[in-house]
């Protein structure tokens, strides 16, 4: 299995990319320093703000697209646009952030482990 699919599996299942036994991220967005089961070291594989940038990039297109579609179909008042954009942004950002961050940390770990 390729590195990307292995990293995707670790991100979606929230399991350690090395042993797949312990929980990968015990907290929402805070990467662990090491795995509780196999002691795999993740200290060199911290994603920083990379996940935030990627999620923002994706949400810019989705949110603007939904606002334009809403305007073309219903032409609601400005406050309704604001509420809809807020709901779309928060509704997608909150579940996407930990997923993308786990993927980035797992990808970095697996790429380094295979080198
Ligand atoms: Zn592990």
Query: What's the predicted TM-score (pTM) here?
Result: 0.88
> Half-sphere exposure of 76 toward its Cβ, with a 13 Å CA cutoff?
13
Band the pLDDT of 115: cuts 50, 70, 90. low
Residue whose token pair is 């980035």: 104
CA of 52 to the centre of ligand 1 (A): 25
Judge contact between 113 and 45, C-beta under 8 A.
no
Quote the ligand 1 centre to 34 CA distance (angstroms): 8
Q: Tokens standing for 94?
A: 């909150």
Give residue 114's pLDDT band: very low, low, confident or very high (50, 70, 90): low
How far is CA 84 from each of CA 21, 59, 67, 72, 112, rounded to the nearest angstrom? 39, 13, 8, 14, 41
Span 73-112, pLDDT tens digits: 999 999 999 999 999 999 999 999 999 999 999 999 999 8
Q: What's the CA-to-centroid distance between 66 and ligand 1, angstroms? A: 40
Distance CA 75, CA 68 (A): 9
Domain locations in the chain as residue ranges: 3-114
Q: How far is the CA of 95 from the centre of ligand 1 (A)?
A: 23
Q: Which two tokens stand for residue 102?
A: 């786990």
Helix, strand, or coil here: 57? helix
Give residue 41 CA to ligand 1 midpoint distance, Å. Answer: 9
Q: Distance from the CA of 24 to the center of ligand 1, in angstroms?
A: 8
């Amino acid at each position: 299995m390729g590195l990307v699919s292995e990293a995707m599996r670790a991100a979606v299942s929230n399991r350690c990319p090395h042993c797949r036994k312990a929980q990968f991220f015990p907290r929402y967005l805070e990467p662990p320093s090491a795995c509780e089961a196999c002691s795999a070291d993740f200290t060199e594989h911290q994603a920083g703000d990379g996940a935030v940038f990627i999620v923002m990039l994706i949400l810019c297109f989705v949110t603007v697209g939904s606002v334009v579609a809403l305007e073309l179909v219903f032409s609601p008042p400005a406050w309704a646009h604001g509420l809809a954009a807020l709901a779309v942004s928060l509704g997608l950002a909150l579940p996407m952030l930990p997923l993308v961050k786990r993927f980035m940390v797992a990808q970095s770990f697996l790429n380094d482990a295979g080198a």
